[in-house]
Amino acid sequence: MVAEPHLMSDRSAEEDVVTMLHDLLRFDTSNYGDDDGPGERSAAEYVATALGDVGLESEIIEPRPGRANAVVRWPGLDPDRPPLLVHGHTDVVPAEASEWRYGPFSGEVIEDCVWGRGAVDMKNFVAMVLAVVTQRRRENRPPPRDVVLAFVADEENGGDAGAGWLARQRPDLFHGCAEAIGEVGGYSATLPTGRRLYLVESAQKGLVWFRVTAEGVAGHGSMLNPANSVTELTETIARIGRHRFPLRLTPSVRTFLETLAGELGLPFDPKEPEPLLKALGPVERIVGATLRNTATPTRLEAGFKTNVIPAEAAAEIDCRFLPGYEEEFYEQFDELLGDGVRRETIIRHIAVETAFDGEITDAMRSSLEDEDPDGLVVPYLLSAGTDAKHFSRLGMACYGFVPLRLPADFDFPGVFHGVDERVPVEALQFGVRVLDRFFDRC
């Protein structure tokens, strides 16, 4: 049974967002990388019901059973302007309930936070958009142009049943969209000066997952074997895991670092910018990974019995490359492979970089600054990837803009895919106010 949205005409978006996020978190939409999980149908139906109650009829699209996407067009005042796409995903990564203080699918509101898997990645934005759009529809406040709302499946496994499928098979849904906003941007990081930076994502790394395989000679574990596939693989993996790729500053990263240096009153050294990042607190973990390409071993597979040397041993490696540096990354990665070790590509997604200028970024900046006049809005490059990669292929300028004013001691990167994922209620309500202003100006 699908939970009905708790919508009341006398409730504000700031009240609705907490209830809606609570409801959404109670749907287990865990994505295990296949179609054996619960799927996103429940969340898609919830979204469609909420929007249907204010006269917006969604199209629910299932590329595969249970992998549901909800898409709707919200009419604006000027239908001749290119529409804006607002997208969010409803799937989440799995969670082990025994490790959590509160149930990962409980949606509990405790300690001034909403708890649950997806509270920041990214059902928070789904709830924020729903709360703002439903209030504006009740009050007859359309946006200045059409807005396409897409609540999609499967982002946590590359989007083949979500944004990627829609971009390939149903581009008509996004006809004319010139710009898009989605996840992992617009959040705050408090500097030692006390001023808050708001990081708006204007770029993101590309992704390639490699499977590397070492070949050797199978044999008995008690005998000497100079061609042990496990030894060759582990030496290669250690070399890759410890390798530090060269520093490369893309335009987004350079702008971010120059702005940060100016705010801190420190010199900007493009050859050694890392010391600046210490001022960012936990966010250093995200921004620090945008200074260079990375390759991180994550999985190992070898053998079937302790006394048998296997003929093959394999590992999987999560690689992220900077915009403009993909070919350089491949060349340098291949130099790290040992003799007899081959690589094959499991998945690849492009890198994206968008200029941080124009009316859309002005609207983001002014909407944030109206709610936090002392805030400083800066573009940044995301070390991970989002569905923006798929929508950018349709010619859209894509940004990450989920506005959140976070407490200075809140470990924002740590709750992504982590235990005890949660979002402060005040941050949600701040985001609702900012989005409402943004929709006036977009």
pLDDT grade for 37, boundaries at 50, 70 and 90: confident
pLDDT higher than 90, residue 146: yes
Q: Are 364 and 333 part of one and the same domain? A: no
Q: Is the pLDDT of residue 206 over 60?
A: yes
258 phi and psi, to 5 degrees?
Answer: -65, -40
Sign of CA dihedral 212, 216, 220, 222: negative
DSSP assignment of 211-264 equals EEEEE---EETTS--TT-HHHHHHHHHHHHHH--PPP---HHHHHHHHHHHHHH
Tell me: do 418 and 377 sit in the same domain. yes
The pTM of the full predicted model, rounded to 2 decimals, is 0.92
Q: Of the residues 349, 364, 382, which one is the last residue of a structural domain?
A: 349
What percent of the chain stands above pLDDT 90? 89
Closest CA to 201 of 211, 221, 187, 215: 187
Quote the tokens at residue 82.
Answer: 């290119």
268/223 Cα distance (integer angstroms): 57
- The answer to the question of residue 114 being in a domain is yes
State the pLDDT at residue 221: 82
Residues in the chain, overall count: 442
pLDDT by residue (tens digit) across 367-406?
999 999 999 999 999 999 999 999 999 999 999 999 999 9
Statement to judge: residues 50 and 152 lie in one domain: yes
- Which secondary structure element, helix H or strand E, spans residue 341, and what is its range? strand 341-349
Residue 63 lies in a domain: yes
Split at pLDDT 50, 70, 90, the class of 10 is low
**Residue that is last in its domain, among 349, 367, 387:** 349
167 and 25 in a single domain? The answer is yes
Compare 203 and 216 and report the one with higher pLDDT.
203
Residue 279, in any domain of the structure: no
The reply to whether 305 and 338 lie within a common domain is: yes
Residue 41 and residue 178 share a domain:
yes
The strand pairing partners of 381, in sequence order, are 203
Residues 6 or more apart from 373 whose CB is under 8 A from it? none
**249 falls within a domain:** no
The answer to whether residue 258 is domain-embedded is: no
- CATH number of the domain that residue 320 is part of: 3.30.70.360
| Residue 285 domain-assigned (yes or no) | no
Is 174 found in the same domain as 32? yes
Kindly indicate the confidence band of residue 224, based on its pLDDT and cuts at 50, 70 and 90. confident
Q: Which domain holds residue 225?
A: 206-244+292-349
pLDDT digits 0-9 by tens, 62-93 = 999 999 999 999 999 999 999 999 999 999 99
For 118-153, b where at least 16 C-beta lie within 10 A, e where not — what string?
bbbbbbbbbbbbbbbbbbbbbeeebbebbbbbbbbb
Phi, psi angles (nearest 5°) of residue 60? -95, 125
User: Does 311 share its domain with 239?
Assistant: yes
> Is 267 part of any domain?
no
Number of domains the chain is built from: 2
Q: What is the pLDDT of residue 340?
A: 86
- Both 61 and 104 in one domain: the answer is yes
Whether residue 333 is contained in a domain is answered as yes
- The predicted model gives 281-285 an average pLDDT of 89
Residues 25 and 135 in one domain: yes
Residues 358 and 396 in one domain: yes
CATH number of domain containing 165: 3.40.630.10
Q: Contact, 318 vs 245, CB < 8 A?
A: no
Q: Judge if 233 and 125 occupy the same domain.
A: no
